[in-house]
A and B are shown apart, each in its own frame.
Chain A
Amino acid sequence: MTTLLYAMLCLSAVVGLVATVARAIGYARAPLHLRWELYPVPHEAADRAAHGGSYFEQSNWWNRPAHFNLRGELTAMAAEMLFLKALREFNLRLWWRSFPFHFGLYLLIATAVVVLAAAVATVFTPLVMAGALGGMIHLLYRLTGIAGLALTLVGAAGLLHRRLTDKDLKTYTTPGDLFNLGLFMVALGLLAAGYALRPVGAPSVLGIVVGLVTWNTAIQVPWLLTAGLLLSAWLAAYIPFTHMSHFVGKYFTYHAVRWDDRVNRRGGSIERTLAEYLTFRPTWAAPHVTADGVRTWADVVTTNPTKGPKR
């Protein structure tokens, strides 16, 4: 059973990571699109970003040096990622449910990272972990773990409750949406129960991860905790295949769409990319488009459909 648990933990970590990276690569490799920004854009100069202005507010803007307000962008990103700023601003009722859920997940991810690091340290530098620093690390992951589980569970329950009771959401809720939230509650609930109810003498969380790192299959993990770990592992592998992977999508909707105000300069890289796209051969069927799968975009857009197609 312990071998199966270790195998599943490793497998789900790999599947979850590979699927997330694959999704990100898929989005990143999509062609450069026409500009579609939405203001405010936080990397604008601070005085303009404050009212949502752009460099178009300056005359002769094309001769002025490009300005990138990194601080503005990082501040906006941090507020959005950590505190779900947009949701807080535009949907406070939901934020009270969504924020604990997401923040709880961050804490759980942080816990996993700290415990893994602590396990590696325990194996390779046991003295450090036995000292004062080790004590602090033990305390840290216990705190983040417990808080993370509590917040995520409370948030998931709140979100599920809203999805079941708010009639505005009913039309748009699929069985999959309910299943996903239910899965969070069951997986993390089992994990919490398995941790809280583990019998005296059962291995600690760190002990289990040390066992994983050293592949010590002699460790006996209590069945409730095993169930919680297995289901949570499966959840981690499953998320990237669903729309719950919006942490990946959101990076692109913000950086590659809403905030992408890069200027196409003559002779620049954007222009070179566009030159390639103009050789694509569209197949749109409406006659006025004058596409036939042979003519390129360059041919199509330089054809005046009212003057008879240049074929």
Chain B
Amino acid sequence: MKDKDRIELSDMSRRDGTPLAHVENQDLMPLPAPLDDPAGERAWTPLTDQAKNRYECLLDDTCAVSVPKPATKAEEDELVRKFLSGLDKLFTKENNWTFLQPLVLSMEHCAKCQTCSDACHIFEASGRNELYRPTYRSEIMRRLYFKCVKHGGMISAWQHGDIDVNWPMVARLIELAYRCNLCRRCAQTCPIGADNGLVAHELRKVFSQEMGIAPKEIHDTGSMLQLKVGSSTGMSAEVVKDNIQFIDEETSERTGITVETPWDVEGADVLLIHNAGEILAWPENPGAFALILNAAGISWTLSSELAGYDSINYGLWYDDAQFARVAIKHAEAAKKLKVGRIVLGECGHAHKALSVIADRVLTGDLNIPRESSMTLLRDIVMSGRLKLDPTRNDFPVTLHDPCNMVRLMGVVEPQREVVRAICPKFREMTPHGVDNYCCGGGSGFAIMSGHNFSDWRFHVAGRKKLEQILNAFGDCLDPAIPKYLCAPCSNCKGQFRDMLAYYDLWEKNTILYGGLAELIVNAMTDVTPGFIEWEWH
């Protein structure tokens, strides 16, 4: 990018009604074979004129939040006033005891050394576009903090920098809060411990909790729908039971082993909570879980309580109130059934939400032990309770590390122990474990596809992971060799499903994706061979 095109912090307040950044395919980080020809890469769908006329699309080539354009100057001023009022509240303990300390630390301590930039997959994949630098967003927020919250005068502006506060700036900031996967890989490298992911998270909270602004996929049809009917998929308890019954029948037929899922068993040891998206999109995963847990003799159950059958908790990404409400619903379902523990199915954000973040929300008899399905599956596999034949998984397998489960919760090895034990052609991605890269679908992106947001999600947010996947399978890209990308997380799978299809990598290179439980069932000798069906879904 030429210097005259360089995006400055002051550009955020530009009133010319044009986006700050435009990314061409040739600007992007190059990909390895078979996607190594930028000219052959898919073109982006431009934003429609209708979208540009109706919504604030002032940031870049896409639009994630779809904030309607204010009709009058008075409306603009009111929105700015609300934003500033929310910003003030963010720094009070009554409103934000939940994250006040880490936020203030990140506001007051950044050496502007840019060490974090190289860790961010979005910044790197965009061809180092300034707009996507982790500190670009944080620096705007920092300047707002010193100017509008601390009310620093001229000396403060001289020391910390200044920023013009107007509606275009706020409108751009709303969008910019949704150009970060909240993966916190940048925070891991910061020598001071400042956290750009947290800054994006807290900005999202101001927009949601004060201004009522959030992408509809994570609020209206996400957390609100879950609190209304029990699941963001829209499935009520009756529907989910029907679907599970169908899955049981399917799994029994496919495996030759009768599978029955227990519902609402009081006093069961384990309450298993799946991401309900699995039930609709990847039914073989809940089917595999049911088969494994029954075969291992685990006392377990599903719950038909409100939200008790859907582990998602989108509030984690944008709203503390919604987050706590859903976490409490999950705990209440477990309390009602008097289970020994909650086990979270293959969903990364649900893992972190209920095990880590909600640990300081759930008190008294709602504080019920929560465990990862990775450890439960590892214990079952290693116990020898299942008869497993690794040669049934004799195809190249690589493992994706969901950020929420790995870097942000420390569940790193259990899933590896399983794949090492049952997948003879397992190969790691580089880097992996706590140093992994986000799939590009983190923080809600996997379910967001308004306007042309998917183009940005695959070209930019998911690009680094795509590079890792192609490199991991670099020695076996031949379509005659089926390959398995194991992603023990529903949101990551959603991103992989869409991204692999976008780049035609199933059709051209036979790269399939799926969960961990499926690999275990595929290796079970009691099961009819071929549980993993090499078909695109």
Q: Is B249 among interface residues, defined by CB-CB distance under 8 A?
A: no
- Contact mask for chain B residues 85-116; partner A; CB cutoff 8 A; 1 contact, 0 none: 11001000111011111101110111111110
Within 8 A of B (CB), among A234-286: 242-243, 245-246, 249-250, 252-254, 256-258, 261, 263-266, 270-271, 274-275, 277-278, 280-286
Closest A-chain residue to B329, C-beta based? A304
Contact present for A253 and B109 (CB under 8 Å): yes
Contact present for B367 and A266 (CB under 8 Å): yes
Comparing A55-63, A142-150, A187-195, the segment that makes contact with chain B is: A55-63
Give the size category of B's interface with A: 35 or more
Question: A177 to B219, alpha carbons, bound, how many Å?
Answer: 40
Other-chain contact of B411, A53, A86, A243, A246 (Cβ < 8 Å): A53
Most chain-A Cβ atoms within 10 A of its Cβ — which of B115, B319, B375, B410?
Answer: B410
Question: A189 to B379, alpha carbons, bound, how many Å?
Answer: 63
Q: Is A51 among interface residues, defined by CB-CB distance under 8 A?
A: yes
User: How many contacts A-B (CB < 8 Å)?
Assistant: 276
- Contact mask for chain B residues 190-201; partner A; CB cutoff 8 A; 1 contact, 0 none: 111111001000
Give the size category of A's interface with B: 35 or more
Given A39-B412, A54-B409, check contact A250 B193 (CB 8 Å). Answer: yes
Closest B-chain residue to A41, C-beta based? B410
Q: Is B177 among interface residues, defined by CB-CB distance under 8 A?
A: no
Q: Is A67 among interface residues, defined by CB-CB distance under 8 A?
A: no
Main secondary structure of the interface of B (DSSP, over half): helix
Within 8 A of A (CB), among B399-439: 406-414, 433-434
Contact present for A36 and B102 (CB under 8 Å): yes
Contact present for B101 and A35 (CB under 8 Å): no
Closest A-chain residue to B208, C-beta based? A286
Comparing A13-21, A124-132, A201-209, A295-303, the segment that makes contact with chain B is: A295-303
Question: A187 to B404, alpha carbons, bound, how many Å?
Answer: 47
Residues in B with CB closer than 8 Å to A264 are 359-360, 362-363, 367
Residues in B with CB closer than 8 Å to A51 are 412-413, 433-434
How many Å from the CB of B123 to the closest CB on chain A? Answer: 11
A-B contact pairs, 23 of them (CB 8 A): A30-B100, A30-B101, A38-B187, A38-B407, A51-B413, A51-B433, A51-B434, A56-B409, A57-B413, A90-B119, A171-B9, A171-B136, A253-B105, A258-B193, A266-B365, A274-B361, A277-B97, A280-B93, A285-B85, A286-B208, A286-B210, A305-B227, A307-B228
Given contacts A52-B407, A54-B410, list 9 more A-B pairs with CB under 8 A.
A31-B97, A33-B101, A36-B195, A36-B357, A256-B102, A257-B101, A284-B95, A286-B211, A303-B325
Interface residues, chain B, with chain A CB atoms under 8 Å away: 3, 6-9, 82, 85-86, 89, 93-95, 97-102, 104-106, 108-115, 117-119, 130, 135-136, 139, 158-161, 184, 187-195, 198, 208-212, 219, 224, 227-228, 319, 321-322, 324-325, 328, 355-357, 359-365, 367, 369, 371-372, 374-376, 379, 406-414, 433-434
